[in-house]
Chain A
Amino acid sequence: MVSGGVACLVLGGGWVLGGAGLVPQRSPDRVQAVNVGGYSVGISFATRQPTKSCVVVVGWPLTLKGGCEKGGRRVTHLIEVKDLQPERTYLALVETEGRLAWFKTVRVETEAVEEQVPLPPDPGYGSVVDPEGNPVVGALVVIYPVSEKFYYPVATLTNIEGNYAVDISPLARLSDRLRIEAVSTQGIWADLSVDSSVYSPFPPITVRTD
Chain B
Amino acid sequence: MDFKIRPGFFGGKNWWVTMTLSVILIGTVGIAVILRLTKFSSVWFRQGAEAGEMSLTGKAIVAEEAEVAEAEVSYELLEGWNLVAFPFSPLTVKSAALLIEDVRQQGGTVSAVSRWDGDGWQEYVERGTERYGYDFAIEPGKAYFLRSHDYLQWRVVGVPPIKKEVLPIELRSGWQAIGIIQSPLTAGQVLSAINDGEERAVEIDWWRSGSWEVFVQRRYSVENAQEYGTNFTIEPTKGYMVKAMSEGWLRQFE
**A residues at B contact (CB < 8 Å):** 35, 37-40, 82, 86, 111, 113-114, 117-118, 120-121, 123, 125-127, 154, 156, 159, 161, 163-167, 169-170, 200-201
User: Least Cβ distance of A4 to chain B in Å?
Assistant: 27
**B residues at A contact (CB < 8 Å):** 81, 83, 112, 114, 116-125, 127, 130-134, 145, 147, 172-175, 203, 205, 207, 212, 214, 241, 243
User: Least Cβ distance of B99 to chain A in Å?
Assistant: 15
14 other A-B residue contacts (CB within 8 Å) besides A127-B130, A156-B133, A159-B133: A35-B119, A39-B173, A40-B118, A113-B175, A117-B212, A118-B116, A118-B175, A121-B112, A123-B123, A125-B133, A154-B120, A165-B123, A165-B124, A166-B133
User: Least Cβ distance of A48 to chain B in Å?
Assistant: 26
The 8 Å CB contact of A39, one of B114, B145, B174, is B174
Q: With a CB–CB cut-off of 8 A, which chain A residues contact B125?
A: 123, 125, 165, 200
Please list 29 pairs of residues, one from A and one from B, whose beta carbons are closer than 8 Å in the complex, sorted by A's number: A35-B119, A35-B120, A38-B119, A38-B174, A39-B119, A40-B119, A86-B174, A113-B173, A114-B175, A117-B241, A118-B116, A120-B83, A121-B81, A123-B112, A123-B121, A123-B125, A125-B132, A125-B133, A127-B132, A154-B120, A159-B131, A163-B131, A165-B112, A165-B123, A165-B133, A166-B133, A167-B114, A167-B122, A200-B132
User: Least Cβ distance of A17 to chain B in Å?
Assistant: 33
The 8 Å CB contact of A123, one of B114, B116, B131, B241, is B114
Q: With a CB–CB cut-off of 8 A, which chain A residues contact B203?
A: 117
The 8 Å CB contact of B134, one of A82, A127, A159, A169, is A159
User: Least Cβ distance of A202 to chain B in Å?
Assistant: 10
User: Least Cβ distance of A143 to chain B in Å?
Assistant: 12
Q: How far is the CA of A39 from the CA of B120 in the complex (A)?
A: 10
Q: With a CB–CB cut-off of 8 A, which chain A residues contact B205?
A: 117
User: Least Cβ distance of B248 to chain A in Å?
Assistant: 15
When the two chains form their complex, are residues B132 and A37 in contact, meaning their CB atoms are under 8 A apart? no
Q: How far is the CA of A120 from the CA of B133 in the complex (A)?
A: 18
User: Least Cβ distance of B144 to chain A in Å?
Assistant: 10
Q: With a CB–CB cut-off of 8 A, which chain A residues contact B241?
A: 117-118
Q: With a CB–CB cut-off of 8 A, which chain B residues contact A113?
A: 173-175, 243
Q: How far is the CA of A210 from the CA of B203 in the complex (A)?
A: 53
User: Least Cβ distance of A140 to chain B in Å?
Assistant: 14
Q: With a CB–CB cut-off of 8 A, which chain B residues contact A161?
A: 130-131
Knowing A39-B173, A39-B174, A118-B175, say if A201 contacts B119 (CB, 8 Å). no
When the two chains form their complex, are residues B175 and A39 in contact, meaning their CB atoms are under 8 A apart? no
Q: How far is the CA of A156 from the CA of B132 in the complex (A)?
A: 11
When the two chains form their complex, are residues B130 and A167 in contact, meaning their CB atoms are under 8 A apart? no
When the two chains form their complex, are residues A165 and B119 in contact, meaning their CB atoms are under 8 A apart? no
Closest chain B residue, CB of each to CB of A84: B119
When the two chains form their complex, are residues B121 and A169 in contact, meaning their CB atoms are under 8 A apart? yes
Q: With a CB–CB cut-off of 8 A, which chain A residues contact B121?
A: 118, 121, 123, 167, 169
Knowing A117-B214, A159-B133, A165-B133, say if A125 contacts B174 (CB, 8 Å). no
Q: With a CB–CB cut-off of 8 A, which chain B residues contact A200?
A: 125, 127, 132
The 8 Å CB contact of A120, one of B81, B124, B130, B172, is B81
Q: With a CB–CB cut-off of 8 A, which chain B residues contact A117?
A: 175, 203, 205, 212, 214, 241, 243
Q: With a CB–CB cut-off of 8 A, which chain A residues contact B118?
A: 37, 39-40, 82
User: Least Cβ distance of A90 to chain B in Å?
Assistant: 14
When the two chains form their complex, are residues B114 and A121 in contact, meaning their CB atoms are under 8 A apart? yes
When the two chains form their complex, are residues A167 and B120 in contact, meaning their CB atoms are under 8 A apart? yes
Q: How far is the CA of A117 from the CA of B130 in the complex (A)?
A: 31
